[in-house]
Amino acid sequence: MKAVRFHQHGGVEVLRYEDAPDPVLQPGEVVVRVRACALNHLDLWERRGLPHVSIPMPHISGSDVAGEVADAAAPNVMIGQRVMLQPGVSCGRCAACLAGLDNECRHYEVLGYRNHPGGYAEYVSVPVQNLIAIPDTIDFARAAAFPLTFVTAWHMLLTRARLARGEDVLILAAGSGVGQAAIQIARLHGARVIATAGTDEKLERARALGASDVIHHHHQDIADEIKRLTNKRGVDVVIEHVGEATWPKSMRALARGGRLVTCGATTGARGSVDLAALFAKQLSVLGSYMGTKGELLQVAQLFFAGELTPVLDRTFPLAAAAAAQQRMEESGQFGKIVLET
């Protein structure tokens, strides 16, 4: 098959469109003909190389996949079925997995990260429980743009922060995958959304998606604007994934009883906490990683019903994966960048 692989860490130039061995079908698994694969920041980090993380080479990235079932070593699977894939792979038999908390499994891996070859390829193999059938009304590019960011945003807002109707939510980086998903999910659950972005065009698009107010994070101070917009009260929930660059402002933006949820640290992983504010204001700082398979099935119903729609930025052919990653490196996108095969 054709695939985009890297044989060493580095810039986008290490991505090679080349021949690669077809995946070997294992018992309990299916092989999917990939039609679309969305990019995530994870793809950039593992290409550049991460401290203390070993990536077997050559490596195929890609966590968000949609396509058709090509072959199956599992019962009750229809060849040709249109599917999108659960991006989390877990053991399926530990206490966490059996409690439905598969993203807390010790053997949890993200498709396309580390040991599990991903969707920057014509074919990918996954456990049968990772298949989610998609209706004919949903095209492959949009299906690929859905799973990782929507399950992440859902887990952050509803499971971790326990968002309630009428609450105020600050969502950082509206144009990011998690940002556009979180705006839609928060609105659907009756929250008031305040979103940040770095260009006027992105701020307009954030409003169109459902943000009541927007903050230009290069020209305005996020914490000051939040105090102004909430009559000095602060917000109930902050959706963080930017890290060092915004962390102090995100903490300052919280109302009494506020919850800050983080799923990433794009600008660096160090952040401090004012312990006096933490206890006196009864704040919560919550970590969040992906979401469970059950949660993705739940949020997918809202996608299929037209209540949630992943925002597509641009599509590229698989062979142009380097150009697609370059666009993400430059933060030019609003929504998801998708490779088509």
Q: Contact between 89 and Zn ion (CB under 5 A)?
A: no
In angstroms, give the least distance from the CB of 103 to Zn ion. 10
Task: Please select the residue that binds Zn ion; options are 1, 91, 278, 286, rule is CB under 5 A.
Answer: 91
Task: Please select the residue that binds Zn ion; options are 36, 89, 105, 214, rule is CB under 5 A.
Answer: 105
Long-range contacts of 182-187 (CB under 8 A, 24+ apart): 182/153, 182/156, 182/157, 182/239, 183/209, 183/210, 183/211, 184/209, 184/210, 184/308, 184/309, 185/150, 185/153, 185/154, 185/157, 185/158, 185/299, 185/308, 186/157, 186/210, 186/239
How far is residue 60's CA from residue 37's CA, in Å, rounded to a whole number? Answer: 12
Return the SS3 of 153: helix
How far is residue 177's CA from residue 120's CA, in Å, rounded to a whole number? Answer: 18
In angstroms, give the least distance from the CB of 295 to Zn ion. 16
Nearer to Zn ion, 109 or 139 (CB): 109
Return the SS3 of 178: helix
How far is residue 185's CA from residue 280's CA, in Å, rounded to a whole number? Answer: 30
Q: Contact between 101 and Zn ion (CB under 5 A)?
A: no
Residue that the structure tokens 């890290």 belong to: 243
Of the listed pieces 92-100, 118-126, 169-177, 231-239, which binds Zn ion according to CB under 5 A? 92-100
| DSSP letter string, 316-335 | EEGGGHHHHHHHHHTT--SS
Count of residues engaged in binding Zn ion, rule: CB under 5 A: 5
In angstroms, give the least distance from the CB of 293 to Zn ion. 11
Residues 132-191 contacting Zn ion, CB under 5 A: none
In angstroms, give the least distance from the CB of 87 to Zn ion. 16
Q: Which residues of 128-151 are buried (b: 16+ CB within 10 A; e: fewer)?
A: bbbbbebeeebebbbbbbbbbbbb
In angstroms, give the least distance from the CB of 84 to Zn ion. 22
Q: Which amino acid is at 310?
A: P
Residue nearest to Zn ion (CB): 105
Nearer to Zn ion, 90 or 325 (CB): 90
Residues 6+ apart with CB under 8 A from 233: 168, 227, 255
Nearer to Zn ion, 92 or 210 (CB): 92
Nearer to Zn ion, 97 or 182 (CB): 97
User: ∠104-110-112 over CA atoms, to 5°?
Assistant: 170
In angstroms, give the least distance from the CB of 128 to Zn ion. 16
Of the listed pieces 12-20, 47-55, 102-110, 267-275, which binds Zn ion according to CB under 5 A? 102-110
Nearer to Zn ion, 249 or 293 (CB): 293
In angstroms, give the least distance from the CB of 275 to Zn ion. 35
Q: Contact between 90 and Zn ion (CB under 5 A)?
A: yes
Q: Contact between 97 and Zn ion (CB under 5 A)?
A: yes
| DSSP structural state of residue 121 | B
Nearer to Zn ion, 127 or 177 (CB): 127
Q: Contact between 94 and Zn ion (CB under 5 A)?
A: yes
Binding site for Zn ion (CB under 5 A): 90-91, 94, 97, 105
